[in-house]
Amino acid sequence: MAARLIDGKALAQQVRERLATESAELFEKSGIRPGLATILVGDDPASHVYVKNKQKACELAGIYVDDHKLPAATTQSELLALIEKKNADPKIHGILVQLPLPKHIDSKVILEAVSPLKDADGFHPYNFGRLVEGHPVFEACTPKGVIKMIESTGVPIEGKRAVVVGRSNIVGKPLALMLLQRNATVTICHSKTKDLPAVCREAELLLVAIGKAKFVTADMVREGAVVIDVGTNKTPEGKLCGDVDFEPVSRLAGWISPVPGGVGPMTIAMLLENTVESAKRTAGLT
Ligand code: NDP
């Protein structure tokens, strides 16, 4: 039987519509409109497209966008000064610094300069630490989106055997922690894992974030598993494709997310959700 599709695009639209209602209600109750500052340094064309998409999504969700496009020659101290200003700006509830930053700027220093109270991307060590403790405030957008996608299937996470392939600080590790918090039994795999196919075959929830096109093949997937593909890779023909070999795996899995149209749109939706939740906290409504 073919797997059912987890439609990230449709789910993201539902999230945006809900957030538009919540933003309007918040404004009515408190006069606060959720605000996101977007900061982009340099001319990387892909980054410009990503930021534009995020800004468009914000508008659809009733979020005010404070746009900052800085030249590639911007110094680290100039960028830090802008972040300080946004940290103190009461109209701003989330700050997005688009990565990658130019090489002369230390991303770690910049991400740690963002106030943990406005950390809409969920990358600040304070928020990562809160997640480790099991008391998250801002959660990283991509893993948060993956959790919502699993929840949308109706398959309970509790008690499930979950395998996360990839251990980056922005996807694999936080995702594993979020699954653990929801009482899954979690295994984290990486490039040194021995007999990865055997470990993956144990997974009732298989979450893949490695960045290698069609790496996960059907022989690595348990029948009926929920398979979520975070990977974004380019085929030699220039098409976008995931880390999972979609066609053969979808004949075996219970649920599967596509690329494109899976995790990508949900990542943006979670950035919006984090911003609206932050504005609600400011208003004392959560
Ligand atoms: P990183 O490159 O930071 O991490 C990749 C991870 O995969 C590492 O932990 C690495 O292991 C592991 N890995 C690499 N090769 C193998 C292998 N052969 N077997 C097992 N594990 C392996 O990537 P990210 O986490 O940032 O991103 C992963 C993918 O997700 C990328 O394609 C990226 O574009 C995509 N992505 C998509 C997003 C979206 O919104 N759709 C958002 C963020 C990422 P080790 O640690 O041992 O090196």
Per-residue pLDDT tens digits for 23-66 = 999 999 999 999 999 999 999 999 999 999 999 999 999 999 99
Which protein residue has the closest C-alpha to ligand 1 atom 4?
168
CA–centroid distance, residue 100 to ligand 1 (Å): 15
pLDDT digits (tens, 9 = 90+) for 103-136: 999 999 999 999 999 999 999 999 999 999 999 9
Give the DSSP letter string of 161-182.
EEEEE---TTTHHHHHHHHHHT
Of 214, 141, 153, 230, nearest to 178 by C-alpha is: 141
**Is the torsion defined by CA of 67, 34, 170, 104 positive or negative?**
positive
Helix, strand, coil: what percent of the chain each, to 5? 45, 15, 40
Pocket residue to mutate for ligand 1, from 111, 164, 171, 187, most atoms within 8 A of Cβ: 171
ipTM: 0.99
Q: Residue 53: helix, strand or coil by DSSP?
A: helix
Per-residue pLDDT tens listing for the chain (286 residues): 699 999 999 999 999 999 999 999 999 999 999 999 999 999 999 999 999 999 999 999 999 999 999 999 999 999 999 999 999 999 999 999 999 999 999 999 999 999 999 999 999 999 999 999 999 999 999 999 999 999 999 999 999 999 999 999 999 999 999 999 999 999 999 999 999 999 999 999 999 999 999 999 999 999 999 999 999 999 889 899 999 999 999 999 999 999 999 999 999 999 999 999 999 999 998 8
Superfamily of domain 31-117: Leucine Dehydrogenase, chain A, domain 1 (3.40.50.10860)
Cα distance between residue 7 and residue 20, in whole Å: 20
Say if pTM beats, i.e. exceeds, 0.90: yes
Q: Please give the distance of CA 119 from its chain centroid, rounded to a whole number.
A: 13
CB 5 within 8 A of CB 257: yes
What would the CATH number be for the domain defined by 141-264? Answer: 3.40.50.720
Q: Do domains 31-117 and 141-264 have the same CATH topology?
A: yes
User: Among the atoms of ligand 1, which is closest to the Cα of residue 263?
Assistant: 41
Of the residues 7, 119, 121, 245, only one is catalytic, namely 121
User: Among the atoms of ligand 1, which is closest to the Cα of residue 172?
Assistant: 25
Give the C-alpha distances (Å, rounded to integers) separating 240 from 211, 234, 251.
11, 5, 21
Catalytic residue check, 54: yes
CB 207 within 8 A of CB 163: yes
Which protein residue has the closest C-alpha to ligand 1 atom 16?
191
In this structure, the residues whose C-beta lies within 6 A of any atom of ligand 1 are 142, 165-168, 170-172, 189-193, 196, 209-212, 230-233, 263-264, 267
Which protein residue has the closest C-alpha to ligand 1 atom 41?
264
Of 200, 193, 230, 191, nearest to 218 by C-alpha is: 200
Name 174's Cβ contacts closer than 8 Å, sequence gap at least 6: 122, 128, 131, 139, 140, 143
Cα distance between residue 67 and residue 251, in whole Å: 44
Catalytic residue check, 91: no
Domain range annotation of the chain: 31-117, 141-264
Of the residues 54, 118, 160, 173, only one is catalytic, namely 54
Catalytic residue check, 66: no
Q: Residue 6: helix, strand or coil by DSSP?
A: coil
Q: Which residues are annotated as a binding site?
A: 166-168, 232
Pocket residue to mutate for ligand 1, from 142, 190, 220, most atoms within 8 A of Cβ: 190
Of 35, 51, 36, nearest to 99 by C-alpha is: 51
Provide the terminal-to-terminal Cα distance of the chain, rounded to the nearest Å. 43
CA atoms within 13 A on the CB side of 129: 5
